[in-house]
Chain A
Amino acid sequence: MIAEPRHIVPPGMLDANLRVRGRVPYAIDVVLPGMLHAKLLRSPYAHARIVSVDATRARALPGVHAVLTGPDLAARDDIFPYFGPIFRDQAVLAIDKVRFVGDPVAAVAAIDIDVAQAALDLINVEYDELPAVFNVDEALEPGAPIVHDEPRRLGQTFADIIVRAEADTNVCNHFKLRKGDVERGFAEADHVFEDVFTSPPVQHVPMETHNCVATIEAGIIRVTTATQMPFAVRASLAEIFKVSQAKVRVTTPTLGGGYGAKTYTKVEPVAALLAQATGRPVKIHLTREEEFVTITKHGVKIQMKTGVTKDGRIVARKSTCLFNTGAYADIGPRLIKNGGYATGGPHYIPNVWVDSYAVYTNLPPAGAFRGYGVSQAAWAYETQMDMIAAKLGWDALEFRMKNLLEDGQSVMTGEDMFDAHFKELLTTATARIGWDPAEEPRRNGSKVRAKGFACIIKGTVTPSTSTAAAKLNEDGSLQILSSAVEMGQGAETALSVLAAEGLDLELGQVSISRPDTDVTPYDQGTSSSRNTHSMGTAVGMAVADIRRQLLALAAEQLEVDPADLELVAGRVQARGAPSTSIAYGDLVRASRSGNLLANSVYASKGGLDPETGQGIGSVHWHQAAAAVEVEVDLATGKIDLLRYHAGVYAGRIVNPVQAELQTEGNIAFGLGQALFEEMVFDGGQLQNGNLGDYMIASIEDMPQEISLGILEHLESNDIHGIGETSLPPAMPAIGNAVFRATGVRITDLPITPEKVLRGLRARAVEESAE
């Protein structure tokens, strides 16, 4: 038997000193000799045919090294100028058509940004404007302009994605879930409620915008890029350049935030093509304004019908989700699955029917965003839960408690729930803000205070794969080769902890690599709150292999049965006889292998039936609750957050400080989306694509009091992702509190003061009519 490893409690972040000195390198800091700078010419039209592109004058401008246009790329046989994780529907530079305001049409590489910018002004593009569609309802109408009228180019199949694109329509994908018999469920219901909920597109706003530097030397395409998915970028570049993946090298330094924006390929292809055209390193670094039209959260309209019995049990739910995926699919075809099944919520519902659609429109492409469709779903179901309780005069908490999933009950995708902590999370959250169902809103002058809460379930991408390698050096130090991306979540620190614990080393004896596709083993990507679980498991497996090797070597050297050995502080020693021991380094030297090596593969299993959406939706289920007290100014509709409790189930907390930081970060993210974040379009033209016009949460917007309940149950021996989990309940919790304070029910995010005031006026009119 091997003793349980001790748990290491790390400092917040291992490279904290570099970070506070401003010296941690980001991709934007890369400077290479002879490096050129790229700028993109973007479409001013939402939908137009490209008649011609004339770059003659731009090419003649001194300092310009190359100008690429869509027609140039389309004419080449040596490249495949399209990308996209599921459909190859996005041209590196628009070919034939532009599909949103901001769609790149031409690219310039020049000696500096000023010259590149000047060259853009010299490119003449002739457009033939086409009718455009911006919202999902318009896009689905018969006879609507078709955003993608070309045949769908399907790429490699993802294990967990069912593609059901409808040709000659704007349906990009359709996900179906059929659990039980929904019509029978509604027949059994005593009350049926049907409501529509909407969420607008918002932007991730990573402080570091998309950027990369590309070079092509000796046939090797090399890109240093701010991505959450180095291997997806590598695959994409190999396909575009028609070379093997071994000829593409992607490296990723620390990111200045990601939040889903930096998943899959974005700016890398155009930089690499310019590097090829110029023979020089080419850097592209998007402006904030460009970032806003690069990728967004999906705007969604969800129609939700829920049947309950008179004793408060949910017996049926039917949801139709229309996700506005914008001009290009990106990962929308998968996201609609997660967002679609999520409408089942954290409740046991025997009969569920979901139709979830990704719909093409002429808006900027929508893709992965912290919460991955679950925020939009939770906004719908947790708002509706409150609406139902209010209409039937039920205690909103008791109604939740009757229906929250317990171990052994089937979740919406059919598998049995395990390790359920919803009730514990919600009980704690409501207790922490002093929830009392009998409490009336408290009025003080024009201000009124009240409380609200919400509880959510979230899956993580399943099945998924992480691999890792471990090297134990002859000085006893341990190197982990991993492609986990450090984006502020503390991946490096968390993985160091797990690796060090496995061999009972100090954190200082462990190093974690940064992703380099030439060196570090495959990882699917740092997203979906999966890293500490998936990569952590892979690292643990590799370290366990090293441990076995050490024990075998030590058994030989010490002539002790391996079962009687233990690992203590960098040495293998005989249990109960510490004087009989040997240092790891001595064992490595004795092995004459230079280093001990181990590889590991963690591949989770699961997947859903294409017709029913039943199967294994998630390797485990992420769980969170939020409770909030708000104060609303009835004269203005302005909402202040007084108290906020965020509860999340962590399984095991690997790094307490980072767990808190991510949870606090979700509060900031959530309150922004609850109260003011919204991309506003007029005719496809973004009206607030900069940080003067688009607001994100400031330190003063934070709730006055915050408490966290990061729930740990070590006996479950599982690490749950918490990067996103506490985000989705924020919006419905705030909306529910606002309703209790004002009687105004907002079903379309964000909950602006203006909407609240309009609601108050409408109520006043109703009341005076009564």
Chain B
Amino acid sequence: MTATDPSSPRTSPRPVDGEGKISLTLRVNGSAERVRARPNHTLLEVLRNELHLTGPREGCGVGMCGACTVLVDGRPVSSCLLPAALAEDHELTTIEGLEGPNGELHPIQEAYVEHTGFQCSYCTPGFILATKALLEECPDVTRDEAKAYLAGNLCRCGSYVKILDSVMDARDRVRG
């Protein structure tokens, strides 16, 4: 992840304010957001605490569960592992970025509603974002391929059968 901001420090430390925080500009869901964060703060912490985007959620803190999935330039990433300082100059998409301006559902979201691909739904934004990246990469994905791709998103309620049904239906909806 590159940082091309001309003010970004090369051989001097990135400047911190009185609270030990740095200034960042993040491009989230199409708009540029200026935020302050401690240098070690993860993207997840900044999205939730500074930008009040509650779709990404901490589940494990070690990149295993996928509840904090965010798309970085269209690719799913665990926002719990990514320092916010490394997320600048990338297009970030959270679940909040998928819906239309009046809350209209994305076809993938419609598919998850249709099949009830969730129970407690804590993990659902992560699954939906992973599905979006999967379908962009692989529009004709098979059920087995989808399984392999989504195996890193964990659903403790075990809604996996209906999640896969949702993904297959989403494929057909997106393909049109």
| Nearest chain A CB to B70 CB, angstrom units | 11
The residues of B that contact A657 with a CB separation of less than 8 Å are: 116, 162
| Nearest chain B CB to A118 CB, angstrom units | 11
Given known contacts A22-B124, A114-B38, A665 and B154 CB-to-CB distance under 8 angstroms: no
| Nearest chain B CB to A131 CB, angstrom units | 34
Inter-chain CA distance A205–B112, complex, in Å, is: 23
Inter-chain CA distance A462–B163, complex, in Å, is: 35
Inter-chain CA distance A698–B54, complex, in Å, is: 24
Query: A25 contacts the other chain (Cβ, under 8 Å)?
Result: yes
Given known contacts A666-B158, A699-B147, A20 and B163 CB-to-CB distance under 8 angstroms: no
The residues in A between 657 and 695 inclusive whose CB is less than 8 angstroms from any CB of B are 657-658, 660-662, 664-669, 690-692
Query: B113 contacts the other chain (Cβ, under 8 Å)?
Result: yes
Q: Would you call A665 and B159 a contact (CB within 8 A)?
A: yes
Query: A260 contacts the other chain (Cβ, under 8 Å)?
Result: no
The residues of B that contact A666 with a CB separation of less than 8 Å are: 158
| Nearest chain A CB to B153 CB, angstrom units | 8
Query: A744 contacts the other chain (Cβ, under 8 Å)?
Result: no
The residues of B that contact A658 with a CB separation of less than 8 Å are: 116, 119
Inter-chain CA distance A185–B116, complex, in Å, is: 51
Q: Would you call B60 and A691 a contact (CB within 8 A)?
A: yes
Inter-chain CA distance A403–B115, complex, in Å, is: 40
The residues in B between 87 and 108 inclusive whose CB is less than 8 angstroms from any CB of A are 94-96, 98-99, 103, 105
Inter-chain CA distance A259–B157, complex, in Å, is: 9
The residues of B that contact A157 with a CB separation of less than 8 Å are: none
Residue of B112, B122, B155 with most chain A CB atoms under a 10 A cut-off: B122
Q: Would you call A664 and B65 a contact (CB within 8 A)?
A: no
Q: Would you call A287 and B123 a contact (CB within 8 A)?
A: no
- Segment with Cβ contacts to B, from A26-34, A263-271, A568-576, A628-636: A26-34
The residues in B between 57 and 73 inclusive whose CB is less than 8 angstroms from any CB of A are 57-62, 64-65, 67
| Nearest chain A CB to B174 CB, angstrom units | 15
Query: A696 contacts the other chain (Cβ, under 8 Å)?
Result: yes
Inter-chain CA distance A12–B159, complex, in Å, is: 12
Q: Would you call B157 and A661 a contact (CB within 8 A)?
A: yes
- Segment with Cβ contacts to B, from A249-257, A464-472, A475-483, A538-546: A249-257
The residues of B that contact A256 with a CB separation of less than 8 Å are: 57, 120-122
The residues of B that contact A21 with a CB separation of less than 8 Å are: 55, 95-96, 98-99, 103, 105, 109
Query: B151 contacts the other chain (Cβ, under 8 Å)?
Result: yes
Query: A23 contacts the other chain (Cβ, under 8 Å)?
Result: yes
Residue of B109, B115, B116 with most chain A CB atoms under a 10 A cut-off: B116
Query: A24 contacts the other chain (Cβ, under 8 Å)?
Result: yes
Consensus secondary structure, chain A interface: loop
The residues of A that contact B115 with a CB separation of less than 8 Å are: 12
Q: Would you call B64 and A697 a contact (CB within 8 A)?
A: no
| Nearest chain B CB to A656 CB, angstrom units | 10
Query: A208 contacts the other chain (Cβ, under 8 Å)?
Result: yes
Inter-chain CA distance A533–B159, complex, in Å, is: 23
The residues of B that contact A257 with a CB separation of less than 8 Å are: 119-120, 122, 156-157
Q: Would you call B105 and A208 a contact (CB within 8 A)?
A: no
Inter-chain CA distance A487–B118, complex, in Å, is: 11
The residues of A that contact B155 with a CB separation of less than 8 Å are: 207, 668, 699
Residue of A13, A256, A700 with most chain B CB atoms under a 10 A cut-off: A256
Query: A389 contacts the other chain (Cβ, under 8 Å)?
Result: no
Interface size class of A (residues with CB under 8 A): 35 or more
Inter-chain CA distance A31–B151, complex, in Å, is: 33
| Nearest chain A CB to B152 CB, angstrom units | 7
Inter-chain CA distance A658–B152, complex, in Å, is: 24
Given known contacts A20-B105, A20-B118, A25-B54, A665 and B158 CB-to-CB distance under 8 angstroms: yes
Given known contacts A16-B113, A668-B160, A699-B160, A24 and B121 CB-to-CB distance under 8 angstroms: yes
The residues in B between 9 and 63 inclusive whose CB is less than 8 angstroms from any CB of A are 38, 52, 54-62
Q: Would you call B158 and A664 a contact (CB within 8 A)?
A: yes
Query: A444 contacts the other chain (Cβ, under 8 Å)?
Result: no
Q: Interface size on B (CB < 8 Å)?
A: 52
Q: Would you call A698 and B62 a contact (CB within 8 A)?
A: no
Q: Would you call A668 and B158 a contact (CB within 8 A)?
A: yes
The residues of B that contact A29 with a CB separation of less than 8 Å are: 54
Q: Would you call B119 and A288 a contact (CB within 8 A)?
A: no
Query: A463 contacts the other chain (Cβ, under 8 Å)?
Result: no
Query: A206 contacts the other chain (Cβ, under 8 Å)?
Result: yes
User: How many Cβ-Cβ contacts under 8 Å join chain A to chain B?
Assistant: 164
Query: B150 contacts the other chain (Cβ, under 8 Å)?
Result: yes
Query: B148 contacts the other chain (Cβ, under 8 Å)?
Result: yes
Q: Would you call B157 and A23 a contact (CB within 8 A)?
A: no
The residues of A that contact B128 with a CB separation of less than 8 Å are: 20
Q: Would you call B119 and A488 a contact (CB within 8 A)?
A: yes
Which of B61, B98, B120, B158 is the one whose CB lies under 8 Å from A288? B61
Q: Which residue of A lies closest to B94 (CB)?
A: A22
Inter-chain CA distance A207–B120, complex, in Å, is: 9
Q: Which residue of A lies closest to B54 (CB)?
A: A29
Q: Would you call B38 and A700 a contact (CB within 8 A)?
A: no
The residues of B that contact A17 with a CB separation of less than 8 Å are: 103, 105, 109, 113
The residues of B that contact A487 with a CB separation of less than 8 Å are: 120
Interface string of B156-174 (1 = CB under 8 A from A): 1111111110000000000
Q: Would you call B151 and A699 a contact (CB within 8 A)?
A: yes
Inter-chain CA distance A45–B103, complex, in Å, is: 51
Given known contacts A288-B60, A665-B119, A700 and B158 CB-to-CB distance under 8 angstroms: no
The residues of B that contact A443 with a CB separation of less than 8 Å are: none
Inter-chain CA distance A208–B123, complex, in Å, is: 9
Query: B125 contacts the other chain (Cβ, under 8 Å)?
Result: yes
Query: A494 contacts the other chain (Cβ, under 8 Å)?
Result: no
Inter-chain CA distance A513–B119, complex, in Å, is: 19
Q: Would you call A664 and B159 a contact (CB within 8 A)?
A: yes
Inter-chain CA distance A685–B155, complex, in Å, is: 27
Inter-chain CA distance A660–B160, complex, in Å, is: 11
Inter-chain CA distance A17–B123, complex, in Å, is: 15
Q: Would you call B112 and A20 a contact (CB within 8 A)?
A: yes
Q: Would you call B148 and A700 a contact (CB within 8 A)?
A: yes
| Nearest chain A CB to B110 CB, angstrom units | 8
Q: Which residue of B lies closest to A671 (CB)?
A: B158
Which of B58, B96, B118, B151 is the one whose CB lies under 8 Å from A698? B151
Interface string of A696-727 (1 = CB under 8 A from B): 11111010001000000000000000000000
Q: Would you call A208 and B157 a contact (CB within 8 A)?
A: no
Query: A164 contacts the other chain (Cβ, under 8 Å)?
Result: no
Q: Would you call A26 and B122 a contact (CB within 8 A)?
A: yes
Inter-chain CA distance A657–B157, complex, in Å, is: 14
Which of B38, B112, B156, B160 is the one whose CB lies under 8 Å from A207? B156
Given known contacts A21-B96, A661-B119, A690 and B113 CB-to-CB distance under 8 angstroms: no
Q: Would you call B99 and A664 a contact (CB within 8 A)?
A: no
Inter-chain CA distance A11–B160, complex, in Å, is: 18
Query: A19 contacts the other chain (Cβ, under 8 Å)?
Result: yes
Q: Which residue of B lies closest to A700 (CB)?
A: B151
The residues of B that contact A204 with a CB separation of less than 8 Å are: 156
| Nearest chain A CB to B26 CB, angstrom units | 18
Q: Would you call B67 and A207 a contact (CB within 8 A)?
A: yes
Query: A413 contacts the other chain (Cβ, under 8 Å)?
Result: no
Inter-chain CA distance A690–B116, complex, in Å, is: 29
Q: Would you call A664 and B160 a contact (CB within 8 A)?
A: yes
For the complex of A and B, 5 pairs with smallest distance between CB atoms: A12-B116, A668-B158, A22-B55, A488-B120, A256-B122
User: Interface residues, chain B, CB within 8 Å of chain A?
Assistant: 38, 52, 54-62, 64-65, 67, 94-96, 98-99, 103, 105, 109, 112-113, 115-116, 118-125, 128, 147-148, 150-164
5 new A-B contacts at CB < 8 Å, known A288-B60, A700-B147: A13-B116, A288-B58, A288-B62, A660-B162, A697-B158
User: Interface residues, chain A, CB within 8 Å of chain B?
Assistant: 11-13, 16-17, 19-26, 28-29, 31, 114, 204-208, 254-257, 259, 287-289, 487-490, 657-658, 660-662, 664-669, 690-692, 696-700, 702, 706
23 contacts between A and B (CB under 8 A): A16-B116, A17-B105, A20-B124, A21-B95, A21-B109, A22-B56, A22-B94, A23-B54, A25-B54, A26-B54, A206-B122, A207-B65, A257-B122, A488-B118, A657-B116, A661-B162, A664-B162, A665-B119, A690-B61, A691-B154, A698-B154, A699-B160, A706-B161
